[in-house]
Amino acid sequence: MIPAGRVLLDGAMGTALLAAGLPAGALPEEWLLARPEAIGAVHASHAAAGARLVLTCTFNLAAPRLEARLDAPSRARAASLAVKLAREAAPAAQIAGALGPTALAGPGLRPARAELTERHGRACALLAAAGVDLLWLESQYDAAEAELALEAARATGLEVAITFALRDDGGRLRAPDGTPGEALLLAAEAGGAVATGVNCVFPGAGLDALSAWAAAALRIPLALKPSPGLPGAVLGPEAFARALAPALPHARLAGGCCGATGEHLAALAAAWTR
C-alpha cells in the first residue's frame, strides 16, 4: 500500500540504463536476465536519495514488443527477478509493480478489448505472484486502455495507482486524442485507483494548472513524476526542483521520469520540504 505522508517516488530507469550501456533499441527488461546488477544499481541510487516507493523494471511486461524478445517463461522469470532486485536494493521502500501501455491503442488504432484485458491481466498476475506491494500503471495515454488496465490490475486484489503521459497544449495537459488530463484523472478515481497523476511530462504551465486543479477536485492523492528531459537536454537537479516548485505543494507523491537521477530526487525532496 502507499505509505502515509509525503512519498518520494523513484527516478528514471530507462535513461539510467542507456547511460550504463543499454544498446539503442534494446528493452530494459532484457537486462533483468542479462545484467541484473545494472537494474539493482539504479534502484539503489534512488533508494539512497530517499525514495520510499520504487517501481519495478517491468514497464513493457504487457506489450507485444517484449514478447518478440522474451518467451513466456522468460517473462515470468524477469517479473520475479524485477521484484527481487527492487526489494534487495530498496529494503525500506514499498515496491510497486510497474506496467506501461501496450502501444496497441491510441488515435487511429482499434485494438480488441479482449486482447488488452488479457495482456494486462496476465502481466498484473505475474507481478502479483512475485509479491509486489501494489501495482502502478504508468505512461497511459488512451482512456479506453487505461480503463481496462485499471480493471485488470484491481482484479488481483492489490491497490493500484495510475499515471498518464500527456502533452502540454497551450497550458493544458491533454492526451494525444485531445482528452483533457482532468477527465483522465477523474476516470481513474472513479475506477478505483488509490492515487493518480502524470508522468513523463515536462514542468510548465500545463503541469502547474493540472496540479492546482487536482488539489481541489480529486479525493485521492496526486502523484507527479515529471521528466527533467531526454539525454542531451536534461535540466540539472536544482533547475528541475525550481521548475516544479508551483506544482509540488499539490502532490502527495512525487518523483522523476526520463532523465531523473538520484541527484534529481534529492533536490526535489529538499525543495518539497521548504
* pLDDT score of 3: 84
pTM: 0.95
| 113-125 residue pLDDT tens | 888 899 999 999 9
Q: Which residues pair with 9 in a beta bridge?
A: 53
Of the chain, the end-to-end C-alpha distance in Å amounts to 26
Q: In this structure, are residues 228 and 259 in contact, taking their beta carbons and an 8 Å threshold?
A: yes
CB atoms within 10 A of CB 90: 22
Residue 80 burial (10 A CB sphere; 0-12, 13-18, 19+): middle
Q: In this structure, are residues 135 and 95 in contact, taking their beta carbons and an 8 Å threshold?
A: no
* pLDDT score of 274: 62
Element at 198 (helix H, strand E) = strand 195-199
Q: Residue 16 is placed in which grid cell?
A: 539510467
Angle CA 35–38–40, to nearest 5: 110
Distance CA 66, CA 51 (A): 27
pLDDT in tens, the chain (274 residues): 788 899 999 999 999 999 999 998 899 999 999 999 999 999 999 999 999 999 999 999 999 999 999 999 999 999 999 999 999 999 999 999 999 999 887 776 777 788 889 999 999 999 999 999 999 999 999 999 999 999 999 999 999 999 999 999 999 999 999 999 999 999 999 999 999 999 999 999 999 999 999 999 999 999 999 999 877 788 999 999 999 999 999 999 999 999 999 999 999 999 887 6
Could you say which DSSP state residue 183 is in?
H
Q: In this structure, are residues 14 and 258 in contact, taking their beta carbons and an 8 Å threshold?
A: yes
Distance CA 274, CA 203 (A): 19
Three-class SS state of 113: helix
* pLDDT score of 2: 86
Domains annotated for the chain, with CATH where assigned, are: 7-272 (3.20.20.330)
Q: Residue 47 is placed in which grid cell?
A: 533508494
**pLDDT more than 70, % of the chain:** 99
Q: Which residues pair with 97 in a beta bridge?
A: 135
DSSP string, 25-77: T--HHHHHHH-HHHHHHHHHHHHHTT-SEEE-S-TTTTSHHHHTTS-HHHHHH
Distance CA 188, CA 182 (A): 10
Give the Å distances, CA to CA, from 71 to 48, 75, 243, 268. 34, 6, 42, 39
